[in-house]
Structures are given as structure tokens and as C-alpha cells.
Amino acid sequence: MPLPAYGVLIGTLNRYEREAPDNFGHYFHGFLYVDAPAGQYKCAVDVATPAGINVEHRELHGMDTGLFTPISSLSNGWHLLARNSTSGALDYVRSPILNKPPQGCLFIVYNAILQLLNNIFKKWQDSGWTKSNGENALNAMESLFSDVARIYVFGAPFTDGGLGVHDIHMNQGDPPGRFQHLDGIWQDGAVIVQTAGGSLNGFLTKFETQTFHTGNDGLPLP
């Protein structure tokens, strides 16, 4: 079954903090404090795990604003999203806005070679991920916050003494274990920043144990 609830928080970034490191100097979360009409939300972005499962991160720059219209047209606040391709929900495997390769003459592909285009997308999807040691992922995410007009945080809501968002990472493709029952498609988490100039930049995270090769239930394919 998928996450109990999934959506996007839209608002203004109030501040950003790193979780205090443990005795070994590991950072496990970055916390975003986002102001919205209902109050201030605390958003926890995983960048490492105490269990030793490696986290990977990826940055996206100059995302297609046209593909983001279903989300950017929403008002500030928390919005539940239908888990499908038209609501604005994100899917690391299936979302065109997250899987569009760089444009240029090398990527001009016509109908006669659509299969080649599909292969290019798959290779682009598997590339660009960096293994996180906690600090390098936080540095990458922080670099997006120098020019923030509006921020979009995709994930699941939680209340822990206040408003919050977590599961701000890939939520499909888990191996058998304690998290696989939450897998589903069109429910992946991310942080997307809209700059004052209107451009969109994103920060994605996934666990190394997760695979992109998933079926319509979000579970790993054989």
C-alpha cells in the first residue's frame, strides 16, 4: 500500500538548519522551516541514515516551468495530490519534469527513433546521482537557497508537536523489508525552489537500496 497521505507544501522559506551531528560527525537531516497560511512547517530532508543505508542525491537545474504548471498555479499551503500523472505529483521514474535530458542537437530525436529516445531517458535517469556523506548533500541543497522566491516540498504530512512534512525522498522501489509496504507510484518526495526570476531548481534524494525499475504498484520488478 502507498503512503497514508501525499502532497506538496507551498510557501516561503523562513530558515534552514542542519540537524546536530552525532558523535561521529554524521548529519542525518536538513530541516526547512516553511511559512504557509496554516503556520510554519518543519520539513525533514534525509541525507544519511543511522542504519548505514547509503543515501544518494541529485540536483536539477532549469526545470521545465511549463510541466510544473499544475503545482505552480496552486496557492500557498498544504495540498493533497492525487497519485497520477496529471495532478502534479512527482515520480522519479515516470515524471517528464524529472527525467528530461539536456537539450541540444544531440537530443533532437524524431518519431523514427523513439526507442532510442526512450533509451536516452533511461540512461539520463540512472545518471547524475551522488553518494551522500550527509555533508555534501546538505551543501548541495543549501546552494539552492541563495535565491528563493517560493518553495515546494513534496512528501507526506506529519505532526510532531507542530506542522511538518517528511518522506521527502523517493517512495518506491524498496527491497523487501520495513519500508516496502509504503511503496507506490506518483508519490515521490523532493524540494523544488522557484527563484525570483521564475526558474525552477530541484533537490532529490533516494536510498541506495531503492531501484528505478518498478511496476505500476511501485514495487521492484524481477
Average pLDDT estimate for 166-177:
96
Domain annotation covers residue 215: no
Q: Is residue 185 part of a domain?
A: yes
Mean pLDDT of 30-59: 92
Query: Rounded to whole angstroms, how far apart are CA atoms 212 and 209?
Result: 10
Within-domain flag for 57? yes
On whether residue 46 sits in a domain, the answer given is yes
pLDDT mean over 168-174: 97
| CB 152 within 8 Å of CB 9 | yes
Asked if the structure places residue 220 within a domain, the reply is no
Q: Pick 160 or 172 by higher pLDDT.
A: 172
pLDDT over 70 at 106, yes or no? no
Q: What is the mean pLDDT of residues 142-155?
A: 96
What's residue 133's pLDDT?
84
**Structural contact between residues 125 and 212, judged by C-beta atoms closer than 8 angstroms:** yes
pLDDT of 23: 64
Residue 222 lies in a domain: no
- Domain region containing 41: 7-94+129-207
Number of domains in the chain: 1
In a domain, residue 63? The reply is yes
> Helices in the chain by DSSP H: which ranges?
69-72, 114-126, 135-142
Asked, for residue 33, whether it belongs to a domain, the answer is: yes
